[in-house]
Structure 1
């Protein structure tokens, strides 16, 4: 009798006194999508919808991860769907839909295929989740997030690309391994496009606050060795693709996107590098390029402009030119993007 009364009291209060949970839509249920769902559940970021056009995959992964919740101790709801209506009202959408890289492919090789996917995804978000904070992971990243914002017509500060957090994480790991120190004591800075022309900045990267350029003078590392680490960072994704042979990275990309989503949902005002829309900053207009940003409840709340020396500016401009070329290629495929 007492239990029945307890149940009734819960039913009476449902929807009236309890806060609504955040809703996270994961558009694409491949390896990154599944990892995103698991991480979002573990962090209790909200209820999770896995979406994929391949019916059965999102439902199966959602059920599998949900069945881990009693063991892991989280209460997030996980569901799978193949209808965009399921993402309705999402607070955050993380987009991984598209074709991943295979050995021998560059991110740019995916452009034609994945642009068509972004058009469909953009239409779905525009219709069902127009107020969401959207994080794009699909490659080639800088061009795809640019196209996704145009297709979805969401505010530019609410659509970002996940690149810099991942690239900086790779740089931090390689530096920590080189110096045999904790990754927690490494800060690293990567600017520009998410590709072969990305710009890891040694001058703005530190070990416990000591710039890498000072560590070269202190004898911790040679300039040549540091350049090798920087190049390995640029090739970080390709290195994993070459080892896996059948796919691309998914654990680190998922963790990076979750860090961005958490900054938005919890209004953490995190300073995170991401592909953000530039409207004159760094001399760039109407393009998405990797720069340091502040992410909070307003989405990208601020873009931080740092001073670049001549060499850094030349490398950044080269990276921007590569992204511009991809955007022009997108317009060639979908002329409506020129607006």
Structure 2
């Protein structure tokens, strides 16, 4: 039996993500939680003829507790998009507070669950989650993941003409670092099966992987962001975690993890000077079983990208930790 929970299930990412999870034969029970509209979303999805039994909860009547109790995997897309006149710092404080409060609920009601954080900024919200779990005495680094799969999905898609695969996901394109702008580092030198990126296309492809989200925002005329592709990426990673937890072998996915708590992570932490970093991770029954270090042999240009990533990512991580240790006044 697998119980999956979506926290933030009524939003732009939450609804399509919940649809994909409801359709998955791997999930027996699906609980949806949000501050509005969840019973309606659950009722709509309940008419789909798939395995998962579905329930929807609001904050009233211990909704968060009921949603989380017995959870095996919890996916968190909760948060708000940036609105006109809102600074990035305003957005950070709101979404950071949302993630903090939800993870407190997880620590209390489902501390053994795999936790998949989608809520932006992932570079800061994952450290926030780690600090909350540490304070509650239930932090297991192997069970906390920042979902960076959309960067990988974009890299696979944008390089399809060079990989030659009808299904772009058949190419392995490692993307490391973080999950925003210049912290996203595609390692085109490490693609498998190998293929070449023409020199005159390289910089544009790197930029497109790093800032692909801007394309979607512009195409939606500022009325939305990458919700459908993010839902797909979140589902793809959740499915990988579930399959690995059921004993399937050789599942490796890049994800943003706490390096000191994952086997193999210390070497990457030493090389980067960072505690959190997205790198290919071998998944297993206990979660993140091994962090794979693919930094050796990267090109000079990739080294430059990594250097810029580390500088930005360090500040993002510190911001998340500081938010928990010294909360801003309400």
Q: Does 2:224 align with 1:236?
A: no
Shift of 1:225: 1.3
Q: Is the 8 A contact 2:128 2:324 kept in 1?
A: no
The equivalent residue for 2:201 is 225
Q: Is the 8 A contact 1:118 1:151 kept in 2?
A: no
Q: Is the 8 A contact 2:162 2:195 kept in 1?
A: no
Structure 1: gaps (5+ residues): 1-20, 217-221
Shift of 1:224: 1.9
SS at structure 1 position matched to 2:91: helix
Root-mean-square deviation (Å): 2.3
**Separation (CA, whole Å) in 1 of partners of 2:87 and 2:154:** 18
List per-residue Cα deviations over 1:184-208 (Å, max 9, x = no partner).
44321211111111111110124xx
| TM-score of the two chains, using structure 1 as the length reference | 0.81
Shift of 1:322: 1.0
Shift of 1:46: 2.5
Over 3 Å counting, the alpha-carbon distance change for 1:277 and 1:287 in structure 2 is: same
**Separation (CA, whole Å) in 2 of partners of 1:291 and 1:186:** 17
Shift of 1:278: 1.4
Q: Does 2:247 align with 1:265?
A: no
2:13 to 23, 32, 38: 32
The equivalent residue for 2:97 is 116
List per-residue Cα deviations over 1:64-93 (Å, max 9, x = no partner).
1112x13xxx12111110221121110000
The equivalent residue for 1:291 is 279
Over 3 Å counting, the alpha-carbon distance change for 1:187 and 1:109 in structure 2 is: farther
The equivalent residue for 2:150 is 166
Q: Is the 8 A contact 2:128 2:323 kept in 1?
A: no
Counterparts of 1:62-73 in structure 2 under 5 Å?
62-67=42-47, 69-70=48-49
**Separation (CA, whole Å) in 1 of partners of 2:284 and 2:52:** 22
Aligned residues: 300
List per-residue Cα deviations over 1:295-335 (Å, max 9, x = no partner).
12211110000113444233223212212212333344432
SS at structure 2 position matched to 1:100: coil
Shift of 1:47: 0.9
The equivalent residue for 1:249 is 226
**Separation (CA, whole Å) in 2 of partners of 1:43 and 1:111:** 32
**Separation (CA, whole Å) in 2 of partners of 1:256 and 1:43:** 14
SS at structure 2 position matched to 1:246: coil
The equivalent residue for 2:292 is 304
User: Highest CA radius of gyration, 1 or 2?
Assistant: 1
Q: Is the 8 A contact 1:102 1:248 kept in 2?
A: no
**Separation (CA, whole Å) in 2 of partners of 1:278 and 1:131:** 19
**Separation (CA, whole Å) in 2 of partners of 1:292 and 1:125:** 25
Q: Is the 8 A contact 1:270 1:294 kept in 2?
A: yes
List per-residue Cα deviations over 1:134-155 (Å, max 9, x = no partner).
0000001121011112213331
| TM-score of the two chains, using structure 2 as the length reference | 0.83
Q: Does 2:313 align with 1:313?
A: no
Shift of 1:240: 0.9
2:32 to 46, 50, 56: 50
Structure 2: gaps (5+ residues): 261-265
Over 3 Å counting, the alpha-carbon distance change for 1:332 and 1:262 in structure 2 is: closer
**Separation (CA, whole Å) in 2 of partners of 1:248 and 1:107:** 15
**Separation (CA, whole Å) in 2 of partners of 1:185 and 1:22:** 27
Over 3 Å counting, the alpha-carbon distance change for 1:184 and 1:110 in structure 2 is: same
The equivalent residue for 2:160 is 176
List per-residue Cα deviations over 1:105-150 (Å, max 9, x = no partner).
8977632221111210111000111010000000011210111122
Q: Is the 8 A contact 1:112 1:330 kept in 2?
A: no
The equivalent residue for 2:41 is 61
